[in-house]
Chains A and B, each alone.
Chain A
């Protein structure tokens, strides 16, 4: 039973354009959401997070939007850069644990 879902396994975007990565969750008890970025042969690294009491959080080129009624969040990257090419994981927290989605591989091409 996948509680956190990323339905797009891959996304290809041109450099300079916007990348939008989506994530859906099923458990309404999740109160915190995070995005992690992973390069090959490395561990995931934290990117940005959002509390369930907010609907938007912005950090430079990265913005996360949360729609609690739809149990949906999205990560916007603008403008996209070649260095953003990586696998992005959405994660949700019911306080003590971190539950991850299956990931979306983003490729930013020139």
Chain B
């Protein structure tokens, strides 16, 4: 029972570098989400997808890109890392949207220096 798997768990990036946070789920869920959690700020929605080939912006999309070529995978791309992107990133999936239980990955702690 893998559920939602995120890689890597930790990463340190230099300003201006790029990276991709990987997220995969094995529950055949249609909906997938990316959130960031800053201290004391709760979880902010970055991007979400309602199915393969469909993505949409959330509350804080600037500086990020996503793609959804398969049902299982929903990678998050940071093109030019900035210190403001230092955060803990969570990927989640749910079967049919926000009115069903969402399952979260363990998170990726990213530090941009």
Shortest Cβ distance from B103 into chain A, in angstroms? 8
Q: Mark A88-101, 1 if CB is under 8 A from B, else 0.
A: 01011111111111
Task: Point out the residues of chain B lying under 8 angstroms from A31, CB to CB.
Answer: 99
Contacts of A89 in B (CB 8 A): 42-43
Interface size on B, residues (CB 8 A): 28
Q: For A96, what are the chain B residues with a Cβ–Cβ distance below 8 Å?
A: 31, 48, 50, 56, 97-98
A51–B4 contact, CB under 8 A?
no
> How far apart are B31's CB and chain A's nearest CB, in angstroms?
7
Q: Which of A9, A43, A44, A95 contacts B98 (CB 8 A)?
A: A95
Residues on B facing A (Cβ under 8 Å): 4, 31, 33, 35, 40-45, 48, 50, 56, 58-59, 90, 92, 94, 97-99, 101-107
Residue positions of A touching B, CB distance < 8 A:
6, 9, 31-32, 34, 41-46, 49, 51, 89, 91-103
Question: With A89-B42, A93-B97, A103-B42 given, can you name 8 additional A-B contacts, CB distance below 8 Å?
Answer: A31-B99, A43-B4, A43-B90, A46-B102, A49-B101, A95-B97, A96-B31, A96-B97
